[in-house]
Structure 1
């Protein structure tokens, strides 16, 4: 008899007592079970159980509805705080479209969190849903220029959404604020709002309602807005956007919301609640008034934070383009005159006679050469290159006199430096893709532009520039040189200082002193490029030894490289800022016709800044090429001492020429060498990474499910192992997407599962029959009830049969659904079976009642 209690159909259990003494108590326990079953069936008739996963779907009680309203209010308030924080992007992005991108990103993130709550998605599925919505809806909001028909995503926009989210943070720090390009910069407010909105929605709708809703728990929702507010401040500029107004509004909204969300007095009487409500209204009014007063006083006292007291990352982050990585353009000066003299480098349309093309500007001297200062030099000079789009910022020290629009076609030139005139204000690369456009860097202080992807033959671009006004010397008599921080001069020869003092002996004003240096070099020197056609040799270079040789020989012989370098050193020794500019001065300019710029047109000049005017050019290179032969002494033979000396080696004339290669790129690979395409590796990484994450997540979930199943099967009591089998069945169905009826008996839950499985089976396969599924599930439910309420210890064999039946039904349910739900079941872990605490209490109470009745019948 002892082995028949669970082997029957559950309607007449036996075996609790071998002598049958417990039979009356057992009948009472089963009667209670039947009563509970009938009540559950009637409750099922009144409730819809089609969507009630974890108690989130289906009809809700007044308390649950109230909780939902509180969650939506929390979400609305925190979204308002996020919107206030997102306004911090205004100083670094041009126009107001960034606000549209931010609002759309916030809505997309909140929608993903809400769908996650409604559908009961796991963490990995929530992340996948959020990413799909991010890329699907991000194109018209963040990159509308690359959308198909204005709204549909394209390959370019999808790339921009990915690149902007990863690299946009770096680019915005090196961009001249406010910036309008590259176009993926609008992804920054979009992705920021999307991420913070998603986190806030998940916390407000799923995490906060599960707890006690204490003030500390609710305050966690403020983490995302506070972090976003700080991020926009750090990424901003020294001149923030409505700092006092935004800060006051943020603090007021947060404090008022926390005050009203305080659960204190929730269980008070109606009279006490009315008193507390009046106090909260008064407190809210006081907080708002105090905040408005403090904001008004603070705004009146200090219009904006002092630059020195405001920390922004753009002041400490180095730009990605470091000119030190490239050779000094002036070092390759002789390469143009010797090797590229008759080579057409560019064809420029739009030049006016007298125009000079600027190639590079150098303001630091190392003792070996003039170079572009590196980004580690504390200066606003030639090393401060920043990412720009089509529009360029105007220099701080600049007086516009005219405007030029040049159409440049590159032919024999290769390099990173873009030739231009004046102060560029707009650049358009013909036929350039997004990646090439994003490689443009600009230095507003020196009006120099570089293309990190390098110019090559066939490239075309249009450059619009403003031309610097050059006043007369009379107009500059009372103007002082501008006070501009410049890099230090290293190893300047002493002869430079001596010659400078000699040249300016009779000059009084700064413009007279600078002009005296220019005139002395121009009139006393002779021009020679060191070519075979020149009458005398002229060594290349402008290091300290070459500059000293320029002044110590009987005649000053050199070209623009030496004379510009020498004059800049003299002006710097005089105490004025100065820099060397290398470029091209074509002589065959005909207005209205394209101009061919050749290597022989290379030149260099000096610029000195004057306060309120701008950088004024000076041209110290002489025009005279006929050097008097009698004043160029021949080398004399030196007497040799009696001591035996090593043979004297005379340098040949061609050894005096220094060949400098301007092509700093790496040697080209052989044509037949196979190079593994980088896009294949990137594609493989992009595909393998999500699959690896998915596989790791599935492994973790499988381990957790195995531990849960092992814990349930190894419970101490037999009835606990039987209940564990039922919970395993419930969890298995919930993970497959079946709705679990809340607060129902096992029989009612089994009936609900059977109905849902029958509908799904007809949709997918049509093989399962409703009566068979119903009988099997109700039988397992009845056996579980019998093990709990019979009052005795459930036999081990019957518990094993119950576990086998539960596993079999879960497997059958899995075969009746689609592959997507089966995949989801492997990615999520349900607690629907193990978290029904109220049923566990009821089961325990009824089991103890059954045991007492059995004990009473036995006595």
Structure 2
């Protein structure tokens, strides 16, 4: 009978996960999930859980697999980042991913932006959060990073060290931090605060209490008593957590309006004071772009006006928007909004649906709109991908696109506005007690004229109506154009308002009359603000209306109690301004002066001919533009390739530098030893079991056994390395190159003996195999 020798099976150098470690991982993941659920008040639902659970599963899987395959810290971080971006499109920004899960350039950019800036944006969003799309990256990133760190600690650190309380306490830092983050970025209404807190405390305390395994050497009776004490202690912990924690939460928890949440403390990032007041550019529309097409709008009803900006702060020089630091019900509190804009409440609402606006030559950050928005969707142009830059002020109905509107942008909006209310309806209604920013620098003449125009009227509506009537009947309209009968100076500051009232006739346009009316209303203490917009002529038969600079206008809104903002138009329509009767000076006879001789030069002779170069632009034709589907397919293939191959190139460069440094060592023995060290490192990266505390010959025998019948001479290479290191003689370059050639050949044999998966995985590994001596 012939005795046969069975070759040992090839196996990966894996680190198994024990049952106790699985329990540790499960407890940590449940604690992380309890913390992540705290995001629910911010998102107003459970839609964020797809991103949160996706990050939780991805972080845990990455940490566990990295431990099982013994990946070092650098490779673990690279693999985790690759997986984070590769799967983030499917979990967090499905709307920007190709087919809902394949990463695109836009989805990868959103993941990066959301990871960095989402934390600042989420505390300025109005809840429930629906936009920007990258905001879902916040729970995805939070659960991913905490799960990755926690599972790495459980599988590598806690499993290999004594199970002391302080190590478990460090592992709990991540879940506790996530729990606190859910509270800080939440709202005044916490999500099941008492129940989550008690469950979190019970799990954490039981986990800490049961961290020590039963000692095998303890007698059966002692083990039974120890187990009984653990169970009794666990029951006490549960009862104490429920009674003490629940009672403390009931008696000591602050009221909802006294809770500390970051969204109540952090100012919105948009500051309207960084932009010039729109009203200061009023004459730009009336004189420079009078007939220029600004934008087109469809869906308007007769009497509708297009709102551009609302201004409630007067500095003495101009009306402007309140800054975000001012704690008022004013125009400066712009904030990011969700997909559905919070609606405004009116006593007589009128709904406008599917109003479509297409921008032409208009170029500014203020978005032309109608009434108070309830929904706004960008449908074309560069603004279609800039929805994350949208800011809205619920108090004024003003929307801003921080990246600015430009030609070709289009959007569709739904809005609600208040039906026109007659003065008779508000005859006995008081103005609303709103806190608006105080006006400064109001001219005394405006205050005195307000008293004069109001006369004996006693109610707010009667006084405002009297002032409006005095302005419209006694004033005249002039935009200061060359065609106007009387010039009208631009501006709406205190000096211009004083000029309006001090001249023989009140002459100005909407800019001056709106400013004057608002200042006079404020002199009575009424909450008034100036609104700038456009008033195109709408008959109801037009499918689309073109808005030009000549349609620009301004009006005033005053807030009435239980009614809302009521519009006043104080601008007169009369443009036939009577000339002041000033006697003409009599002309005095002048001596005759002989005129110079007439020149016979023609007008054409006085012009210098200029030769213009011909342009070749028309001859070039339209440039070739790739279709959109080509870009989509190309980016969908390119982005995964970049994610896969960039880490491969980086790790390959590190390995090449490692081998080059060893091969080009100054001393010959170091070069030979380096060849052996390179062989061990590459064997370890291929998944072979390389002993760490053995001689070179013993390591060679162990590796030879794993290679079975492969033609490789590892013992001769180990002996050559020992001889070069220990014989004390110099090694020439020819000898060291020979050893290097044989070592690399042995690596090639080992590489061919493993599966393709192990060969691919080795390219992403940087490992140290065997001793270094």
**Normalised by the shorter chain, which TM-score bucket?**
0.7 to 0.9
Kindly indicate whether the alpha-carbon contact (under 8 Å) linking 2:323 and 2:332 is maintained by their aligned counterparts in 1: yes
Per mean C-alpha deviation after superposition, the further-off stretch among 736-745 and 516-525 is 736-745
CA 605–237 in structure 1, closer or farther in 2 if over 3 Å, else same = same
Match of 2:114 among 164, 173, 177: 164
Kindly indicate whether the alpha-carbon contact (under 8 Å) linking 2:477 and 2:508 is maintained by their aligned counterparts in 1: yes
Asked if 1:542 corresponds to 2:482, the answer is: no
CA 234–807 in structure 1, closer or farther in 2 if over 3 Å, else same = farther
Kindly indicate whether the alpha-carbon contact (under 8 Å) linking 2:308 and 2:369 is maintained by their aligned counterparts in 1: yes
Match of 1:323 among 272, 282, 285: 272
Asked if 1:417 corresponds to 2:366, the answer is: yes
Match of 1:374 among 316, 323, 329: 323
- Tell me what 1:335 maps to: 284
Match of 2:502 among 552, 555, 574: 552
- Tell me what 1:814 maps to: 747
CA distance in 1, matches of 2:584, 2:399: 46
Task: Within 5 Å, give how 1:458-607 maps onto structure 2.
Answer: 458-591=408-541, 593-607=543-557
- Tell me what 1:773 maps to: 713
Task: In structure 2, list runs of 5 or more residues that go unmatched.
Answer: 586-638
Give the structure with higher Rg (CA): 1
Shift of 1:83: 0.9
Task: Within 5 Å, give how 1:626-775 maps onto structure 2.
Answer: 626-630=576-580, 733-740=683-690, 749-757=699-707, 769-770=710-711, 773=713, 775=715
CA 593–798 in structure 1, closer or farther in 2 if over 3 Å, else same = closer
CA 695–307 in structure 1, closer or farther in 2 if over 3 Å, else same = farther
- Tell me what 1:350 maps to: 299
CA distance in 1, matches of 2:347, 2:659: 71
How many pairs are equivalent? 710
Match of 1:51 among 12, 18, 24: 12
Per mean C-alpha deviation after superposition, the further-off stretch among 567-576 and 99-108 is 567-576
- Tell me what 1:105 maps to: 55
- Tell me what 1:123 maps to: 73
Asked if 1:151 corresponds to 2:101, the answer is: yes
Kindly indicate whether the alpha-carbon contact (under 8 Å) linking 1:398 and 1:615 is maintained by their aligned counterparts in 2: no
Shift of 1:76: 1.0
Shift of 1:559: 1.5
Tell me the SS of whatever aligns to 1:579: strand
Per mean C-alpha deviation after superposition, the further-off stretch among 210-219 and 693-702 is 693-702
Shift of 1:463: 1.3
CA distance in 1, matches of 2:219, 2:720: 48
Task: In structure 1, list runs of 5 or more residues that go unmatched.
Answer: 1-43, 58-64, 637-682, 714-720, 760-768, 785-793, 836-859
Kindly indicate whether the alpha-carbon contact (under 8 Å) linking 1:580 and 1:606 is maintained by their aligned counterparts in 2: yes
Kindly indicate whether the alpha-carbon contact (under 8 Å) linking 2:308 and 2:533 is maintained by their aligned counterparts in 1: yes
- Tell me what 1:671 maps to: none
Kindly indicate whether the alpha-carbon contact (under 8 Å) linking 1:729 and 1:809 is maintained by their aligned counterparts in 2: no
CA distance in 2, matches of 1:365, 1:634: 41
Asked if 1:608 corresponds to 2:558, the answer is: yes
CA 462–825 in structure 1, closer or farther in 2 if over 3 Å, else same = closer
Match of 2:351 among 386, 390, 403: 403
CA 196–532 in structure 1, closer or farther in 2 if over 3 Å, else same = same
Kindly indicate whether the alpha-carbon contact (under 8 Å) linking 2:8 and 2:705 is maintained by their aligned counterparts in 1: no
Shift of 1:534: 2.8
- Tell me what 1:249 maps to: 199
Tell me the SS of whatever aligns to 2:402: strand
Tell me the SS of whatever aligns to 2:385: helix
- Tell me what 2:380 maps to: 431
CA distance in 1, matches of 2:129, 2:29: 26
CA 149–586 in structure 1, closer or farther in 2 if over 3 Å, else same = closer
- Tell me what 2:174 maps to: 224
Asked if 1:138 corresponds to 2:78, the answer is: no
Kindly indicate whether the alpha-carbon contact (under 8 Å) linking 2:691 and 2:770 is maintained by their aligned counterparts in 1: no
Kindly indicate whether the alpha-carbon contact (under 8 Å) linking 2:377 and 2:412 is maintained by their aligned counterparts in 1: yes
Query: What's the TM-score once normalised by structure 2's chain length?
Result: 0.80
- Deviation sequence 1:709-746 (CA, Å, 0-9, x none): 99x99xxxxxxx99x99999756642553223699998
CA 797–410 in structure 1, closer or farther in 2 if over 3 Å, else same = closer
Tell me the SS of whatever aligns to 1:430: strand
- Tell me what 1:361 maps to: 310
CA distance in 1, matches of 2:264, 2:473: 47
Match of 2:340 among 391, 405, 408: 391
- Deviation sequence 1:25-57 (CA, Å, 0-9, x none): xxxxxxxxxxxxxxxxxxx9999672235xx26
CA distance in 1, matches of 2:666, 2:225: 53
- Tell me what 1:449 maps to: 399
- Tell me what 2:127 maps to: 177
CA 556–698 in structure 1, closer or farther in 2 if over 3 Å, else same = farther
Kindly indicate whether the alpha-carbon contact (under 8 Å) linking 2:8 and 2:706 is maintained by their aligned counterparts in 1: no
Higher RCO by CA contacts (8 Å cutoff, separation 6 or greater): 1
Kindly indicate whether the alpha-carbon contact (under 8 Å) linking 1:564 and 1:621 is maintained by their aligned counterparts in 2: yes
CA distance in 2, matches of 1:556, 1:452: 38
CA distance in 1, matches of 2:173, 2:662: 32
CA distance in 2, matches of 1:369, 1:634: 37
CA distance in 2, matches of 1:501, 1:295: 64
- Deviation sequence 1:376-396 (CA, Å, 0-9, x none): 43334222222235422224x
Query: What's the TM-score once normalised by structure 1's chain length?
Result: 0.72
Shift of 1:454: 2.6
Kindly indicate whether the alpha-carbon contact (under 8 Å) linking 2:690 and 2:769 is maintained by their aligned counterparts in 1: no
Task: Within 5 Å, give how 1:256-275 maps onto structure 2.
Answer: 256-262=206-212, 268-275=218-225
Tell me the SS of whatever aligns to 1:608: strand
Kindly indicate whether the alpha-carbon contact (under 8 Å) linking 1:401 and 1:467 is maintained by their aligned counterparts in 2: yes
Kindly indicate whether the alpha-carbon contact (under 8 Å) linking 2:43 and 2:129 is maintained by their aligned counterparts in 1: yes
CA 340–744 in structure 1, closer or farther in 2 if over 3 Å, else same = closer
- Deviation sequence 1:515-550 (CA, Å, 0-9, x none): 333333333322222223333222110111111112
What root-mean-square deviation, in Å, do the aligned CA atoms of Structure 1 and Structure 2 show? Answer: 4.5
- Tell me what 2:600 maps to: none
- Deviation sequence 1:238-276 (CA, Å, 0-9, x none): 333333333333222212211221569786544333333
CA 252–474 in structure 1, closer or farther in 2 if over 3 Å, else same = farther
- Deviation sequence 1:356-375 (CA, Å, 0-9, x none): 11011111111111112233
Kindly indicate whether the alpha-carbon contact (under 8 Å) linking 1:385 and 1:443 is maintained by their aligned counterparts in 2: yes
Asked if 1:293 corresponds to 2:204, the answer is: no
Shift of 1:464: 0.8
Per mean C-alpha deviation after superposition, the further-off stretch among 217-226 and 592-601 is 592-601
CA 743–529 in structure 1, closer or farther in 2 if over 3 Å, else same = closer
- Tell me what 2:607 maps to: none
Kindly indicate whether the alpha-carbon contact (under 8 Å) linking 1:530 and 1:537 is maintained by their aligned counterparts in 2: yes
Kindly indicate whether the alpha-carbon contact (under 8 Å) linking 2:693 and 2:770 is maintained by their aligned counterparts in 1: no
